[in-house]
Each structure stands twice: as structure tokens, then as C-alpha cells.
Structure 1
Amino acid sequence: MKKILKSIVLLVAFTIVMPQVYAQVSLGINISARIAPPALPVYTQPVCPGDGYIWTPGYWAYADPDGYYWVPGVWVRPPHVGVLWTPAYWGYVGGVYGFHAGYWGPHVGFYGGVNYGFGYGGVGFGGGVWAGNVFRYNTAVANVNTTVVHNTYINKTVINNNTTINNNRTSFNGPGGVNASPNEQERSAMNENHMQPTSNQMDHQQTASRDHNQFASVNHGAPATTAMNRVNGRSFNQQGRIANGISSGKLNAGETKNLENREANLNKEVRTDRADNGGHLTGQERNQVNNQQNKLSNSIDADKHNANNANYGNNEVGQRKANQQQRIAQGIRNGQMNDRQAARTENREQNINRNVNTDRRANDGRLTAQQHRQINHQQNRASRQISHQRHG
């Protein structure tokens, strides 16, 4: 409670003392720090829980003296129709990192040029638009179950700004961070009426501040919960953990295929249950899904810590396999590859790996020129398939 009160006192102080400097955010700077916030963690977006929710990306908040803690990205209901969320950001000026609080308004304002992903590529918001009293979701960047939510469209032009936080994970604006300043539209948005975060959003941040696993001093920049489907809902970081396991080589193609198949089957089960219950899950179904997610989480952890690591070898074929796996991991992180696509892709990679191993055993550990050409042909086909799945 003392930490929260301190933030409120600082909020009032900064807003009163420095209104001209920080007028772009009506809430001003509510806290400052002498050290830079950590890089943005890698995660995937949970499925939108239903009509009317808007995605608010995760961010690093600060609590003295414990330091930075991660507030998970979450789907929330806006205070009323017609408003959009401008994310919080850290700005470095004069040797101090100042926190600019997020806010609701008719248009998206300046958020430091930070690429939060999922429609927040550094400028504006590409995840959806208001059409009268209905919010329409851009499924090119938003994870929406279209069998439940029908107010959707596709605008792939924003994907170039949605390389998300695994390519450029810088979390602050200013020297050493993102070099960006407000454009004309963002300056105009600064002068509009703004609304503070909802009580649900404030509760969400306070919950994160009470969880020591969210603090960078404990998790070293990899928080336990990176995203949630709604405030007080279920944490969602399975796909991000799988992608990290692929990148590090701790998950091989066979393990990834099995995990992604299980994730796909679970998601299909959830969609079927929702369709049978008017878009909702019963209490029993929700408990069942939680139990299955817990089992899957344990399997991810077990697979990442067993002895079956991906071994690519220091050779041309091995490098090609390693490159393919990195592209798959990138697609999973970005949400450009769903679980079914990832499972099919890893099945192909597993088959190629089996062929390589069989050929090497038959030739004293080497591949003939013909076998090299055959493997390259198979990898070229797999590469085209990955590109097609990621960019549709």
C-alpha cells in the first residue's frame, strides 16, 4: 500500500510542477528511475475473450525500492465506446527515466515509438477500429476467435510494423533507446480529453506489483506471467515458452510437434465448448481447460530440461536446419504461425532430420552430393511453406 501511495503522490507532484513538459499525457509522470527498464519480454497474445475487449500491451512498471516489475498484457473493456488505448512508456531525459502512464482517448497518442507488437508498432494502433458502437478487430495482428467474434476484418499492411517485441525489444524512448518524437497526429491527440486507466486496469497492475515473480530482480527480464486473457483471468505464455525453447535448441522438432499438437487440440476443444454455450465456458469446462494447460505447461518444462536437445552440427546442413527452426520460432512468437501450422511444419522438419540421420549412418557419417541436393530440395520446400504460413 505504501508503494501505491507513493506513486499517487509522485503522480500529483509531477502533474502540478511540470504541466507544460508532460502535457501529452494528462496523468503526467507518476514515477521515475535512475536505471533503464529491461527489454520487453517475448510473448504471444491470448485469444480475445469476446466482443468489446481491447488489447493493452504489457509494460515494465516500477516500485521503489524493489525495482521494475512486469505488468502482463491483457484484454480489457474500455470505459465506454469510441475510445482507444495509448500504452504507457518510459522516456529518458536528463539522466532520469520517467514513466508516462497510459490513458484512454478518442485517438492513440504518442507512446514513445516503442514497438509493443499486436497492432502497437510504435505509432498508432492497427489492431482494430470502432465502427459506431461496435469494435472491429483486425485479425492480421489480433488473436480473435472468429467463430465467436464476427466483427473482424483483415489489414495486412500493419504487419510490417508488427514484427513485435522479439526483433526490437527496446522498452524506452530517448538516448540509448527508441529515437522517436510525436508526429502531427499524435500531437493532436495530446490535446484531446483523456481518461485514466479503468479500475480493472489499476487492480491488474497492483496484482502484478504483489507478485515477486514479476520483478526483474527475480526473473532477470523473463517474468512468470507475460500476458493474460482478461484481468484476473488465466495467464498465457505457453506459445512464448515454446518459441524460446525452439530458439535455444532445448526443444527439438519432435518435441515441438507434440506440444503444438496438444495446444491445437486444446484450443479446438475450447472453441467447441464455447460454440455449444453461446461463447462462454461453464465452470466445469474452465477447470478442465486449466488442468490441461497445467499439464501442457509441465510437459514444456520437462521437454526443455531433458537431454533431447536439438543438435544441428557444425556444417551446411546443420546450419540450414538451425535457420529453419529460428524462422519457425519467430513465426510462433509473432502469432504468424498458429499451433496447427507449427505442428505440421515441425513434422516436416522431423522427417527431414530422420532422412539426414539415416543417410549419414549409411555413409560413415557423411552425405553424398546427391543426398545433399535432395536435402536442400526438401528444405527449400519447407522454407516456402514456412514463408506462406507466416505471411499468408
Structure 2
Amino acid sequence: MLKLSSIRSLLFALAVLSVVVLAMPATSSAGVIFSVSFGPPPLPVYEQPLCPGEGFIWTPGYWSYDYDFGDYYWVPGTWVRAPRVGYYWTPGYWAYSGSRYVFYDGYWGPRIGFYGGINYGYGYFGNGYEGGRWERNRFYYNRSVNNVNVTNIHNVYNTTIVNRTTVNHVSYNGGNGGIPARPTRQQETFARERHLAPVTDQIQHRQLARGDREQRASINHGRPAIAATPRPRDFKERVPAREAGGTYNPPANRAPTDQRGNRRDVQSRENQPANRLGQRQENNPQANRPGQRAENQQRVQEQRQKNDRPPSAMAPRDVPRANRPAPVTGDNRHEQQTQREQQRVNERQNQERQRVQQNQERQNQRVEQQRTNEARRQQAEPAHQQQQQRAEQRVEQRREQPQPPQQRAEPRREQQPQQRQQPQNREESKPKKDRPPNQR
């Protein structure tokens, strides 16, 4: 009982810790999400699609890894709306560490961090970003780097960038043949700061690429059919790669694939510990009981059947650790108790994830509403100026028009004296005979 109570206390502490972590804002730092024994293919050569509108920032394509197939697959480059005003995208990158190749995921932040010195092109030439900048809550695009239609997007500038980086399409840092770049102290400081993880559009974009067999390096030989898209998940408006960045030679000891490209004898790396635990039960004295041994063999068989399932739409590394199947221990009551505790933790985590996602969506809606209001205000300013000009023209025309009442009053004043002088003229015009004689 003491052991069971301690296990319950440990599970409860882990549940509380997971809830606290999930309740925090969706922040991230450059963390390792893949570890592979062989390096990725060279970067393919492709054209950047046209920018769909203001506020979109270019996120370059990269090679990701699928444990279910033991193969790299290409995630197309695409235009993504920045989650916050003033935030830039720091791309992820592969790096040789020890005897393996690890992938550091990208992130959003107010400054550009270190991305392995990889020359992804279109502003990401290995250090910093030359494709645009934020000014007065608006993103300005560098026309010399980005494919922008100036008819729809007016906040542009033109600065020629002298790229001194050797264009060799190498897709990893360090190791044999990799980029020998190292982060500066400032970039190391940026990496330790709190950042925003890839947004939902980017995660779904990667999952959609993972489900397309034409994106696998073993199928396209380093030349993917969908190298870039104008928007996340918009695989219909695809931009194919013009050519592969170099020769791709995967390891010769990779397991064979069937006609569909599925690996036959390879299991997910995340499921291997559970299999080893199931195999060790045969040497467990308590598990070697007749009835218990049959149950254990049945569980091991079910576990093997689960491992042979078709690949899901989510990579094992994308599946939260709390949602992965618990190892088989042979204790029914303990397993049931553990499963119930695990279900409670999963429910709490799902609720927290939904809440965080809803908050992120509300924030995106507020940013979108601000951009819409700004666009309406800019559209309304010319109309207001035209109305003001028309009003000024009317006032000016009224000033220039003559005043009829004043012009008519002046001739009347001139005629009145003439009418008064007429009687005098008549008296003077009388004949002289009417005058008295003495006046002759």
C-alpha cells in the first residue's frame, strides 16, 4: 500500500506540473525535436511564390524527419502571418551533435536568432533576415529579395543585398561537410529568451507534408514536387522544385520499403521501449506464472500489432508524451490505476491545450481586426479629402459670383436725380412770350 500511495502521489505531482506548464503562454525556445543517425539531403532549388498580402512573412522550406518510415520529407516554404506585430521568424536547422544529427525547431520572436548559418535564400542568407522589417506596426518588404506585387502591397523598399555566403545548398550545421558557423553571444542570448512556438498553420502544414509520399527524400531524390506554397496547407497552388540541391545518398543499411513506400521491418522509435519491457517479462518470476504468462504474451502480441499499424497523420515526436501508450508491467490493478490517472492527466492537458489555442485564436482575430480597421481608415482618407476639396471649391465659386441686388440699386440712384431735374428743364423751356414785357 505504501508503494501504491507513493506512486499516486508522484502521478498527482506530475499532473499538477503538466497543468501548470500548459497554462503558461505558448512560448518556446530552440529545442531539439529530432535525432537521426544520418544527415538530411541538400536544400532543393525553387522559386518563391507571390506574397498573398500584407502581414505575411516568408518561412523557408526545410527537411523534416519521419520515424515511422525512417526517411526525410520536405516541408514546403510558405507565407505565414506573424502571430504578433513586430515578430520575426527564426528558421529551424539541422546540426551535427556527437554522432547524430539533431533538429532545432524554429520560433517567433522580436529578434532573429541563430539558425545554423544555413543559406535558405529569400532573405535568410545564414545570419539575420534581409527580407523586410517592421515599421509603425506595418511590415515593409524588400523587393530585391521577395516576390511582391506592388499593385496590392505598397509598403515596400528596395535594398540590394550582397550575399557573401557560399551557395552550396548544404542543409545542416557542423560535422563532415556541414556549415561551420557558430552563434554569437548576442544570438545565444536571443536563444535563451522566451519565444512563440510555430503557429497552428505551420504545424498543420508540416503534418500535411508528412502524409504526402511524394515529399519523401527516398521518393523524390531531393527534388520535391511541392517545394513551396503561397499559403500554409495550400498544396494545390504548388511550386515544384527546379532541381535538387545535390546528390542524395541515403544509408545503405536502411530497411527496405514496399511498393507504397512503407517500411516493412521498421517500428517507431517511440514504441521500442514498450517492446523491450514486454520482452523482459519472460525473466520476471511473478510474470512466469501460468495464467500471468498467457496474459503477458497476449499483451505483447497486442502491442506488436499496434506497432505494425499504418503511419498516423502525426509524427511520434508530435504526439504528446502523456498520450503515448504506457508500458506493460504485468500488474492488472496497477495498470488500471495508472491508466485512469493517465486519462485524467490527458483530459486536463487537452482542456488546457484547447484554452491556450482559443486564446491564440482570439489574439490572431484581434490583430486581424486591427489590420482591417487600419485598411478601412486608409481607404476612407481619400474620400474625406475629396469631399473637403469639393466643399472648398463651392465656397470659392460663391465668392466669385456677382451680387445682383447691389448692381441693380446703383442705376436707380442715378435715375432719381434726372427725374427731379425734368421740371426745371420744362420751366426753362417755356417760350419767351410768356415773360413780362419789362424783361424783354
User: Where on the TM-score scale, by shorter chain, does this alignment land: which range?
Assistant: 0.5 to 0.7
Q: Name the counterpart of 2:202.
A: 201
C-alpha distance in structure 1 between counterparts of 2:164 and 2:55, whole Å? 24
Q: Name the counterpart of 2:155.
A: 151
User: Cα offset for 1:189?
Assistant: 1.5
C-alpha distance in structure 2 between counterparts of 1:50 and 1:126, whole Å? 19
Amino acid at match of 1:133: N
C-alpha distance in structure 2 between counterparts of 1:206 and 1:140, whole Å? 32
Q: 1:215 to 1:99 in 2, by over 3 A?
A: same
User: Cα offset for 1:186?
Assistant: 1.5
User: Cα offset for 1:159?
Assistant: 4.0
User: Cα offset for 1:64?
Assistant: 0.6
Amino acid at match of 1:122: G
User: Cα offset for 1:65?
Assistant: 3.3
| Structure 2 SS opposite 1:61 | strand
- Is the contact made by 2:201 and 2:233 (CA closer than 8 Å) also made in structure 1? no
User: Which among 36, 39, 42 is matched to residue 36 of structure 1?
Assistant: 39
Q: Name the counterpart of 2:58.
A: 55
| Structure 2 SS opposite 1:147 | coil
Q: What's the TM-score, normalizing by structure 2? A: 0.47
Q: What's the TM-score, normalizing by structure 1? A: 0.53
1:342-361 matched pairs, under 5 angstroms: none
User: Cα offset for 1:185?
Assistant: 3.1
Amino acid at match of 2:51: C
C-alpha distance in structure 2 between counterparts of 1:172 and 1:186, whole Å? 18
| Structure 2 SS opposite 1:122 | coil
Amino acid at match of 1:153: Y
How large is the Cα RMSD of the aligned pairs?
Answer: 2.6
- Is the contact made by 1:141 and 1:159 (CA closer than 8 Å) also made in structure 2? no
User: Cα offset for 1:98?
Assistant: 0.4
| Structure 2 SS opposite 1:202 | helix
Deviations 1:241-278 (A, max 9, x none): 3xx59xxxxxxxxxxxxxxxxxxxxxxxxxxxxxxxx9
Deviations 1:170-197 (A, max 9, x none): 0000112100001233123223221100
Q: Name the counterpart of 1:214.
A: 215
Amino acid at match of 1:37: P
- Is the contact made by 1:106 and 1:192 (CA closer than 8 Å) also made in structure 2? no
- Is the contact made by 2:30 and 2:191 (CA closer than 8 Å) also made in structure 1? no
Q: 1:50 to 1:110 in 2, by over 3 A?
A: same
- Is the contact made by 1:113 and 1:123 (CA closer than 8 Å) also made in structure 2? yes
1:61-76 matched pairs, under 5 angstroms: 61-66=64-69, 67-76=71-80
Larger Rg: 2
Amino acid at match of 1:99: F
User: Which among 106, 124, 131 is matched to residue 102 of structure 1?
Assistant: 106
Deviations 1:264-321 (A, max 9, x none): xxxxxxxxxxxxxx9xxxxxxxxxxxxxxxxxxxxxxxxxxxxxxxxxxxxxxxxxxx
Would you say 1:160 and 2:152 are equivalent positions? no
C-alpha distance in structure 2 between counterparts of 1:57 and 1:184, whole Å? 25
1:3-18 matched pairs, under 5 angstroms: none
C-alpha distance in structure 1 between counterparts of 2:134 and 2:186, whole Å? 18
C-alpha distance in structure 2 between counterparts of 1:140 and 1:160, whole Å? 12
Amino acid at match of 2:174: G
Q: Name the counterpart of 1:125.
A: 129
- Is the contact made by 1:70 and 1:214 (CA closer than 8 Å) also made in structure 2? yes
Deviations 1:184-243 (A, max 9, x none): 3312322322110000000000000000000001111111100000012244436x53xx
Deviates more, 1:189-198 or 1:114-123: 189-198
Identical amino acids, percent of aligned pairs: 49
